[in-house]
Amino acid sequence: MSRTVIHLHRDAPAKPALGVACNGCGVCCALETCPAARLIFRQCGGPCPALIWSAADGRYRCGLLTAPSEYLRWLPGCAQPLASRLFQRWIAAGVGCDCSAELSEQ
């Protein structure tokens, strides 16, 4: 059994159970990049460069969803809403937790 150490914000919510709605814990994106991020950032392992801590919300957010032009500099402002919706669909945001990682605190 391999172990990977990830570092998350101390106020991040606990990882939800498989299938439960995403709560912004950041575990999945800290471990590996989604298919969209793999293409954009050319990396398979985490943490994802688009994983952003939102102090106001007390949770992690996906920068590809919230501010796609920050990562796709060529993207015109009028195309941001469309890009956000496409990324949301591509990574199945809002469908439910699909991260099977088992966590232990240290």
The answer to whether residue 66 sits within a structural domain is yes
Instruction: Answer whether residue 96 is part of any domain.
Output: no
Residue 61 falls inside a structural domain: yes
Question: How big is the chain by its Cα radius of gyration, in Å?
Answer: 14
Q: For residue 94, report the phi and psi dihedrals to the nearest 5 degrees.
A: 90, -5
Tell whether 103 is covered by a domain.
no
Examine the pLDDT at 51 and tell me if it is beyond 90: yes
Using the structure block, give the residue that is written with the tokens 């009028």.
78
pLDDT value of residue 1: 57
Residue 102 domain flag: no
**Domains identified in the chain, total number:** 1
Contact between 8 and 31 under an 8 Å Cβ cutoff? The reply is: no
pLDDT of amino acid 106? 60
Contacts of 1 (CB under 8 A, 6+ apart): none
pTM for the structure as a whole:
0.85
pLDDT for 86 equals 87
Cα separation, 26 vs 37, in Å, equals: 14
Q: Supply the range of the domain harboring residue 46.
A: 27-90
Distances (CA, A) of 99 to 22, 54, 62, 77, 82: 10, 21, 15, 32, 26
- What are the tens digits of pLDDT across the range 64-105? 999 999 999 998 989 999 988 888 888 877 778 988 888 876
